Amino acid sequence: QPPPKNPPPSPPSLPIIGHLHLLKEPLHRTLHRLSASHGPVLALRFGSRPVLVVSSPSAIEECFSKNDLLFANRPRFLVGKHLNYNFTTLGATPYGHHWRNLRRFSTVELLSTSKLNMFLSIRQEEVKSLLKNLNQPKFAKVEMKSRLSELSFNIVMRMVSGKRYFGAEAEDSESAQRFRGIIREIFELSGASNPGDFMPFLRWIDFGNLERRMLNIQKEVDEFLQGLIDEIRNKDPNVGRNKSMTDSMLALQESEPESYSDEIIKGNILTMLSAGTDTSAVTIEWAMSLLLNHPEVLKRARAELDEIVGEDRLADEPDLSKLPYLQNIINETLRLFPAAPLLVPHESSDDCFIGGFDVPRGTMLLANAWAIHRDPKLWEDPTSFNPERYDNREGEAYKLIPFGIGRRSCPGAGLANRVVGLALASLIQCFEWERVSEELVDMSEGQGLTMPKLKPLEAMCRSRERMINVLSEL
Ligand code: HEM
């Protein structure tokens, strides 16, 4: 491929590795620094692969409206091969017939408004179980991360398979524990900067044993998922539930065996679990951390809940649309701590122009949502947590993009909003919260694709007196 005539600005690079030596974690911060000195449309090279980093609303608009179709591909990473059933899962598969099929299926069978309404009781039950475990009359220190992670895992797992994995009535807690660990490991391996993805010769010597690690994980994941679908397949159809996504896929397998092979079904389950659990859990954790550091915001949110919901019943999903301040808090959390700060990498299927520059086909696109969300040209006092900023409708399109935009944007945004909204509303309504010490909660981010908190959140928690009756009935 000849070099483009008018390439975007780019820092000096090294032979063979290109800019890989510059990629320090967290990647969104490094890319932000590079964009700050070279501009919002930045060209890099990860080994042999051309990369485009965009970090302005106008560049985002160019990529995801006019050129959305052209950028609807995903790069083919090792993790897509080994841990996404050879590029057949919704998140990893290239744009085309198979993707459209899966996307339609997932949207209709799992994530449409009517399906989400149908699964409401699952979310209510899981949130109640969280509240019940936190219920106590005196202030005590609680660890939040694992509770929130269990909450989101149980919700998605029950929607997908009909099974409950953690806590009371858990059906198979030990293997689920292990499986959740594996999912976390998959995430660690899913970053956008595995050297072996960009310098194929490194695969020869198996850089950091990466490929071997992936193959081991693949085996374990596959056994777990095969066990799960076999169990559902073999269950007596007159007993048991048959409303889960896996049940629907198995039903389709009979009429369209090629489109719904066991592999495709396993890949779909894995995708829902890996895309839909940590993301929501981490968002709730960041939101609670922000509230602990801003008691005045917590107070206002509680006043809103007391006014709209009162003390005789728990907050519920239909209340969420009547709680604009809570929604502002969620938006502000997703602005400052987007669970996918660089979205998910895209890839161009043809040459195009972005920002007046030539971008060759086969370029990997990284959209730095994190940088846009903190751009002082777009947001007043961008690093401060200020839910009030949305009162006068700050936040137009292309400025706040935690779920991405265009045809590959997050199909689970509606579910995520409900899970995060219901959990936060209930935690604020039912409990008093304080920091474990005078010190502010540490807001630094750790490594990993979903931008976890470096230090898992701990807080002091006690049931609110006015909610004791409601809580005691759980
Ligand atoms: C706060 C929670 C969440 C955030 C911040 C989030 C964010 C994102 C982002 C940024 C993308 C990539 C968009 C792009 O490629 O440009 C994405 C893709 C995706 N998300 Fe989410 N997500 C969340 C929750 C969920 C949930 C609950 C599910 C489903 C159970 C889900 C399923 C997916 C899937 C399947 C994709 C891949 C779509 C495709 O490639 O066509 N996500 N998400």
DSSP labels, 1-17: -PPPSSPPP----BTTT
Residues present in the chain in total: 474
**How confident is the prediction along the chain (474 residues), in pLDDT tens digits per residue?**
667 789 999 999 999 889 988 888 888 999 999 999 999 999 999 888 899 999 999 999 999 999 999 999 999 887 888 888 888 999 999 999 999 999 999 999 889 999 999 999 999 999 999 999 999 999 999 999 999 999 999 999 999 988 877 665 666 667 777 777 787 777 777 665 566 676 665 555 555 677 888 888 889 889 989 998 998 898 866 665 567 889 989 999 999 898 899 999 999 999 998 899 989 999 999 999 999 999 999 999 999 999 999 999 999 999 999 999 999 999 999 999 999 999 999 999 999 999 999 999 999 999 999 999 999 999 999 999 999 999 877 556 789 999 999 999 999 999 999 999 999 999 999 999 999 999 999 999 887 666 888 899 999 999 999 999 999 999
- Does the Cβ of 267 fall within 6 Å of ligand 1? no
Nearest to 29 by CA among 357, 280, 383, 378: 383
Class of domain 20-472: mainly alpha
Phi, psi torsion values for 298, nearest 5 degrees: -55, -45
Q: Which amino acid is at 472?
A: S
Give the H or E element holding residue 364.
strand 364-367
What spacing in Å lies between the alpha carbon of 296 and ligand 1's midpoint?
Answer: 31
- Does the Cβ of 80 fall within 6 Å of ligand 1? no
Q: Which atom of ligand 1 is nearest to the CA of 401?
A: 10
What are the binding residues? 410
In sequence order, the 6+-apart residues with CB closer than 8 A to the CB of 413 are 403
Ordered by start, the domain boundaries in the chain are: 20-472
CA–CA dist 21, 427 (Å, integer): 44
pLDDT recorded at residue 201? 58
pLDDT recorded at residue 175? 73
Pocket test for ligand 1, best of 85, 279, 451 (most atoms within 8 A of CB): 279
Q: Which amino acid is at 307?
A: E
- Does the Cβ of 274 fall within 6 Å of ligand 1? no
What spacing in Å lies between the alpha carbon of 34 and ligand 1's midpoint?
Answer: 26
Nearest to 297 by CA among 272, 269, 273, 331: 331
Q: pTM above 0.90?
A: yes
How far, in whole angstroms, is CA 100 from its chain's centroid? 21
Token pair 């009030």 in the structure block, residue: 388
What spacing in Å lies between the alpha carbon of 413 and ligand 1's midpoint?
Answer: 7
Partnered with residue 53 across adjacent β-strands are 42, 366
pLDDT recorded at residue 452? 84
What spacing in Å lies between the alpha carbon of 402 and ligand 1's midpoint?
Answer: 9
Quick: pLDDT tens for 395-410. 567 899 999 999 999 9
Contacts 24+ apart (CB under 8 A), 163-169: 163/228, 167/129, 167/133, 168/129
DSSP labels, 236-298: -TTSS---SHHHHHHHHHHH-TTTT-HHHHHHHHHHHHHHHSHHHHHHHHHHHHHHHH-HHHH
- Does the Cβ of 98 fall within 6 Å of ligand 1? no
Nearest to 325 by CA among 345, 308, 300: 300
CB atoms within 10 A of CB 296: 8
Sheet holding 49-54, edge to edge: 41-46, 49-54, 364-367, 346-347
pLDDT recorded at residue 285? 97
CA–CA dist 183, 271 (Å, integer): 10
Over 136-151, what HEC string results? CCCCEEEECHHHHHHH
Pocket test for ligand 1, best of 280, 403, 419 (most atoms within 8 A of CB): 403
- Does the Cβ of 73 fall within 6 Å of ligand 1? no
CA–CA dist 130, 125 (Å, integer): 9
Quick: pLDDT tens for 424-458. 999 999 999 999 999 999 999 887 666 888 899 99
Q: What is the ipTM of this complex?
A: 0.99
What spacing in Å lies between the alpha carbon of 343 and ligand 1's midpoint?
Answer: 8
- Does the Cβ of 424 fall within 6 Å of ligand 1? no
What spacing in Å lies between the alpha carbon of 234 and ligand 1's midpoint?
Answer: 31
Q: Which atom of ligand 1 is nearest to the CA of 279?
A: 2
Evaluate whether 400 touches 334 at the Cβ level (below 8 Å): yes
Residue nearest to atom 11 of ligand 1 (CA): 410
Q: Side-chain half-sphere of 232: how many Cα atoms within 13 Å?
A: 25
